Structure 1
Amino acid sequence: MDVAKLAELLHETAEHHGPFEESAPPHNWWDWYAPYLDARLSGRTPEEASRAAARHMEPILHGGG
């Protein structure tokens, strides 16, 4: 992946993380970014990637991860 495409994907990731960050307890941003980026690189839509990241965060935010 070239740097410009990566920058675009990171920007998209930040935009989708914003609403989650506003409503979630304090957390490390990279715990949300990693599954989001993985899902997008696997061909999932931004909405699917957001759901995947949120699912990944559940045990982390509730003491199980």
Structure 2
Amino acid sequence: MNIMDVSVLAVLLREAEEHHGPYEAAAPKHHWSDWYAAYITARQGGRTTDQAVDEASRALERLLGGR
């Protein structure tokens, strides 16, 4: 498991919260943590905020499509 600095994680969580709002408004019912996890993982992987939003949204579509 990758250990992350608490201050870095806090910044990423706030960033994810900011970007999740527009997604949540139009998305089917889901748990916020699934989207946040995909977003933070993408940001850690070097994606821009826009790329991370797209990646997290696609990840949720795959997850929700399997339910």
Residue identity in the other structure for 1:12: E
Q: 2:31: which partner in 1?
A: 28
Q: d(CA) in 2 for partners of 1:2 and 1:34?
A: 16
Aligned partner of residue 28 in structure 2, secondary structure:
coil
Q: CA-atom RMSD, angstroms?
A: 1.3
Q: How far 1:59 moved relative to its partner? A: 2.8
Q: TM-score, normalised by structure 1?
A: 0.87
May I ask how many residue pairs the two structures share in their alignment?
64
Q: TM-score, normalised by structure 2?
A: 0.84
Fraction of identical pairs, as percent:
53
- Can you give the 5+ residue segments of structure 1 that lack an aligned partner in the other structure? none
Q: 1:8: which partner in 2?
A: 11
Question: Which residues in structure 2 correspond to 1:18-57 (within 5 Å)?
Answer: 18-57=21-60
Runs ≥4 in structure 1, deviation > 6 angstroms?
A: none
- Can you give the 5+ residue segments of structure 2 that lack an aligned partner in the other structure? none
